[in-house]
Amino acid sequence: MNKDYVDIQVKGKPVRVPAAFINGSTVIAAGRWLKIANVMDEQLLDGETVPDPESFIAGLRDSDLRADIFTFAQKLPDITPKHRYHLEWDNAAAIPITRFSDWWERRAKPDVRAAVKRAKKLGVVVKLSEFNDAFVEGICRIYNESAVRQGKPFHHYRKDFETVKRENSTYLERSAFLGAYYNEELIGFIRFVYVGNTATTVQVIGQRAHFDKKPMNALIAKAVEVCEQKRLSHLVYGSYIYKGRNSSLTEFKRRNGFEQVLLPRYYIPLTLKGKIALKLNLHRPLADHVPQPLVVQLKRIQRLWSNFKLESETEASS
């Protein structure tokens, strides 16, 4: 086992981090004063992330990768803790898949059903799409609509064609792309990866200029339909609860029928520093230690600053 380096995406930009290859998996380590290791793309890998933790951790200790803590999580539908390591909970947003009619009648809120009907009435067509150059060009148009999204700098803005194509080509053999089209133009898309008996979203995005046509609600509805056809157990869409509990994204997910699912996440100290950090709860992100009212104010300042920068750049280029 040799220490190596791999590129990961951090805020839309490639960052080279140290890595080791353990039992067929790529383990990466990140952090400044506290190095935390995890299996790269663990949520997108088929099967258990770490089938034999003892053997895996022994291999990690013997590798050249310097890490203080190793973490891994269980995946849906395996939600019952089965290891005796330090345990915390990941929260995932998921729709349990039974029948489309069950989602439509019991899970989707009335305004979501109305939005899906409105999209169809206005001529929005949602379908499984081939990942080809035309689709990539459509993604680029969506990415380049605005430099700011949800009050934050949009990290995909102005990426070139080849970069967009490469970044959306990972796990392509297990990926599916749903496109929402208006007058044959791509105005929104969902990319998800089949992981075991679930579908996990990688991107869910639409053009703000066509928000009134409700393409995102139509895309979610189509995703549920595809999952039912493939007899999957869940459609998974990132986290359910964020640091700001009143997140508009959480509300969007709730109204579209997603629910919170808690998944066991384990933390194993590899060094004395890691053991002390874990005991003092210092392995958590800094934002977790910031009072909620302050987080709200900081996010508001961030949105104002991002909008100011966008307006300044627009004026300078005009």
Q: How far apart are CA 176 and CA 190, in angstroms?
A: 8
Note whether 278 and 267 are within 8 A (CB).
yes
Please tell me the predicted confidence (pLDDT) of residue 305: 61
Q: How far apart are CA 293 and CA 27, in angstroms?
A: 36
Q: How far apart are CA 117 and CA 9, in angstroms?
A: 37
Q: How far apart are CA 118 and CA 167, in angstroms?
A: 32
Phi, psi for residue 135 in degrees, rounded to 5: -70, -40
Task: Specify the range with the lowest mean pLDDT, choosing from 36-50, 107-121, 167-181, 292-306.
Answer: 292-306
pLDDT band (50, 70, 90) for residue 311: low
pLDDT in tens, 193-252: 999 999 999 999 999 999 999 999 999 999 999 999 999 999 999 999 986 556 889 999
Please tell me the predicted confidence (pLDDT) of residue 1: 46
Structure letter (DSSP) for residue 83: -
pLDDT band (50, 70, 90) for residue 299: low
Count Cβ neighbours within 10 Å for each residue of 69-92 and write b for 16 or more, e otherwise.
Answer: bbbbbbbbeeeeeeeebbeeebeb
Q: At how many degrees (to 10) do helices 215-229 and 110-121 cross? A: 100
Domain limits, CATH 3.40.630.30, in the chain = 94-260
Gap between the terminal Cα atoms of the chain: 55
Report which of 121, 102, 105, 99 is spatially closest to residue 215, judged by C-alpha positions. Answer: 121
Task: Determine the CATH number of domain 94-260.
Answer: 3.40.630.30
Helix (H) or strand (E) holding 292: helix 292-317
Q: What residue type is 85 in one-letter code?
A: Y
Rounded to 5°, angle at Cα 150 from 147 and 156: 40
Q: How far apart are CA 240 and CA 291, in angstroms?
A: 20
Q: What is the dihedral of CA 30, 34, 37, 42, to 10 degrees?
A: -70
Q: How far apart are CA 197 and CA 232, in angstroms?
A: 5
User: Quick one: the chain helix, strand, coil %, rounded to 5?
Assistant: 40, 30, 30
The segment with the largest mean pLDDT, out of 10-19, 95-104, 145-154, 246-255, is 95-104
For residue 290, pLDDT over 70 is answered with: no
Note whether 111 and 248 are within 8 A (CB).
no
- Conformation bin of residue 47: beta by default, left when phi > 0, alpha when psi is -120 to 50: left
